[in-house]
Copies of this chain bind each other. A is one copy, B any other.
Amino acid sequence: MKALVERLHPICRSMTGDGVRRTLEIINERIPLQVHEVPTGTRVLDWVVPQEWNIGDAYVKNAAGRRVIDFGRSPLHVMGYSVPVSGTMSLDELRPHLHSLPDQPDLVPYRTGYFRQDWGFCLSDNELRALPSGDYEVRIDSTLTDGHLTYAEHVVPGTSDDEVLIFCHTCHPALANETLSGIAVATELARRLARRAMPRLTFRFVFAPAAIGSITWLAMNRERVARVKHGLVLACAGDPGRLTYKRSRRGDAVIDRALALVLASREHELRDFLPLGYDERQFCSPGFNLPVGLLTRTPNGEFPEYHTSADNPDLVTEDALRDTLAVLEETAQVLEENATYLNLEPYGEPWLGPRGLYGVPGVDHLALLWVLNLSDGQHSLLDIAERTGMPFPALSAAARALSTAGLLKEEGNDAQGGGPG
């Protein structure tokens, strides 16, 4: 996974443009993607797809002709969606277009000028302060024209139409942990799911720009929204910090409860929904009210490298990526195997001995008794896990053994759809 982060890191991504397309091509080498191109001007919910932005070269040259700021060194040096500029200007004229971080003087910030018809360069505060006055040649060789917004989907089909949505944003250049670690983990999860027997749930991975991307996906998939029973936005997935789950707007959706259960055995933090953050804001808008939470390690804005040139592959560890992946796999198991069963011998305890249910390897006796006791059609395995504190896999194994022995019948699985609430 870290190799994918490193490979994607140098690409100049933004809300639209060829950097996004190049990113999706590389992901496509690992998992097949269906790429969608939505034309500029398309109405998407309350928004409009913006013009497409691309950039060739960009620099600021000093009087000696040396590039003192050079897009070629890092895409962070140019503010996203900068309009084209070409000319010579004094440092005083240039200065309002230069962005730095006085508190982190070694780092280059990440900035965008979406919807502003502006241009700018980013550089370290040390570099900025070292610029002598005088004239500078300034050039941004960008285009901002009618084009497309690009996003992609990868689907692992399940036996049911119920879907699990995994969303990663693709719009940030050169931010290894914030953007690329989520993409890497999601890609690996998709590969692993594909290697197994067909799941019950359909897993849909969406790679799209933040905000306008989820808005566009929602606008293009109004009829599909009701199928989304569980969802996660993934970001900041590779730093060594502890895992943090931000609940969906519902707060008690199955996905919220599944994450709480899976994270319980790890150092972690649970947070309530807040309408600031990533694309969960759109999925959790009141009209959709989807059960979609946000999984991160250290949350956005809370690690010092956030939105700077220090969010480079060094910040991302393979261990952290693997740990995030493990949580996703355990969560997928809960979502897949959670079901409500009916005890078919509910009067008194069934006589387990003659049914060969004593001392079955891999089947916990107390888990058997709990599943029998609470399988009255009112309690899902997740309910039972929460009430008893027993590990979900033990309860799921007990339910399988009891079903095989004819003592249990599946009544339904606990899916939830969207809608106001």
Contact = CB atoms under 8 A, between A and B. Distances in A.
B421 A373 contact: no
A399 to B, nearest CB: 14
A369 B276 contact: yes
Interface in A254-294: 275-276, 281-282, 284-289
Contacts of A369: 275-276, 281
**How many copies of the shown chain assemble into the complex?**
3
A45 B370 contact: no
A286 B349 contact: no
Interface string A316-354: 000000000000000000000000000101111111010
Contacts of A343: 286-287
Contact of A375 (B249, B281, B284, B286): B286
Interface in A75-111: none
A347 B275 contact: no
Contacts of A374: 286
Interface string A365-408: 01001101111111000000000000000000000000000000
Contacts of A351: 46-48
Nearest to A353: B115
Contacts of A215: 348-349
A420 interface: yes
A377 B288 contact: no
Given A373-B249, A376-B421, A378-B420, A218 B347 contact: yes
A109 to B, nearest CB: 21
A347 B46 contact: yes
A275 B46 contact: no
